[in-house]
């Protein structure tokens, strides 16, 4: 992707996103993705040699191999969002082999999907692309719908089918989050013992986070704290939604309510109102970037998907993040278009014209 093409895709936002400088948290304060990232930040950690090898497999596959950046295809929406709703735009993805094929042909570092799908593809593909098994899910077939994460299999089963990593979600802020923290911490401990890497979806979930007509599930301050809890659980990579707002703690402390802890310098000394600074606050909460931050690609909106995906990648990269994990924008469109979208995301991380802010 040329700089002219990038400017055309970003449109009116191009200059603001490509020329912004982060002054509140300068890039010199961060540990940034690089070809030596694994050696610099995990070699002297408690991760055993097998886990280091698994991380190396993840970092060194696909078009971003050896850069320190990752592009992951996640397709687990069939569990929570229903398979029909997820795959109706492109029914070929009811077949898990096409999920793996999309990740390979799209040049991804890894594919993240369900136990059942990866188990069926194990002997055919586990040696061709790193597998990430999503070990827990929310499912919305139970009536009435509730929002919780349930383990769908064992860590050892993920290891047996050849996975290099396990992924899990915690709904931080929910009434069930403390049980989920215990479940995931035990699962991650076992995964590291078996030599697998760990990726945590650090999502927020509580109706109270929607306040005054605003959705603070994507607030920089609250998602940043979720990230900090995630790295405390020894996640090797953090997955988080891109911030769209800030001031979640403030909104939840209005009136007579009392929630969490905040310091005004979180908003005046560590961030501005710029989206790259919001994302940098997320990176800061990942041990200053020692644990990589990947942002999610979000839902498919149709014609605007390319711009949204490239915009998210630019913000993540310039903030100091490690990459993107994008699914629906790729698989809810014709196969070749999905490949092209994934590679457009990767082009952002390969471009020397897009520097850390």
Catalytic residues: 239
Q: Where are any strands of DSSP class E within 195-329?
A: 197-204, 210-211, 214-215, 237-240, 292-296, 323-325
Angle between helices 96-105 and 115-125 (to 10 degrees): 60
- Inter-residue contact 135 to 106 (CB < 8 Å): no
Report the candidate in 181, 194, 241 with the shortest Cα–Cα distance to residue 216. Answer: 241
Angle between helices 305-319 and 3-10 (to 10 degrees): 110
End-to-end CA distance of the chain: 20
Q: Prior bond to 69 cis, omega within 30?
A: no
Residue in the structure block whose two tokens are 């997820």: 86
Whole-angstrom Cα Rg for the chain: 19
Measured CA to CA, the distance from residue 348 to residue 346 in angstroms comes to 5
Query: DSSP assignment, residue 90?
Result: -
């Amino acid at each position: 992707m040329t700089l002219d093409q990038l400017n055309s895709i970003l449109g009116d936002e191009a200059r603001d996103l490509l020329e912004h400088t982060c002054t509140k948290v300068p890039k010199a304060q961060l540990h940034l993705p690089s070809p030596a990232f694994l050696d610099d930040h995990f070699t002297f950690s408690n991760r055993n040699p097998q886990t280091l090898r698994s991380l190396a497999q993840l970092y060194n596959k696909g078009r971003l191999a050896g850069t320190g950046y990752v592009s992951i295809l996640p397709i687990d929406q069939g569990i929570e969002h229903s398979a029909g709703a997820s795959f109706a735009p492109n029914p070929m993805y009811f077949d898990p082999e096409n999920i793996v094929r999309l990740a390979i042909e799209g040049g991804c570092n890894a594919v993240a999907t369900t136990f059942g799908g990866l188990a069926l593809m194990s002997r055919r593909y586990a040696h061709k692309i790193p597998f990430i098994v999503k070990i827990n899910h929310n499912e919305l077939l139970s009536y009435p719908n509730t929002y919780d994460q349930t383990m769908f299999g064992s860590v050892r089963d993920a290891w047996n089918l050849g996975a290099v990593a396990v992924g899990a979600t915690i709904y931080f802020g929910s009434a069930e989050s403390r049980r989920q923290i215990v479940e995931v911490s035990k699962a991650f401990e076992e995964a590291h013992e078996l030599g697998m890497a760990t990726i945590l979806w650090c999502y927020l979930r509580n109706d109270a986070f929607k306040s005054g007509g605003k959705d603070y599930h994507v607030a920089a301050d609250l998602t940043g704290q979720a990230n900090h809890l995630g790295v405390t659980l020894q996640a090797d990579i953090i997955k988080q939604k891109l911030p769209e707002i800030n001031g979640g703690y403030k909104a939840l402390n209005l009136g007579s309510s009392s929630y969490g802890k905040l310091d005004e310098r979180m908003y005046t000394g560590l961030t501005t109102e710029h989206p790259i600074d919001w994302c940098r606050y997320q990176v800061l909460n990942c041990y200053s970037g020692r644990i990589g931050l990947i942002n999610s690609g979000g839902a498919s909106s149709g014609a605007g998907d390319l711009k949204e995906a490239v915009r998210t990648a630019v913000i993540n990269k310039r903030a100091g993040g490690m990459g993107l994990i994008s699914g629906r924008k790729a698989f809810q469109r014709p196969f070749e278009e999905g490949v092209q979208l994934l590679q457009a995301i990767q082009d952002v991380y390969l471009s020397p014209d897009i520097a850390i802010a």
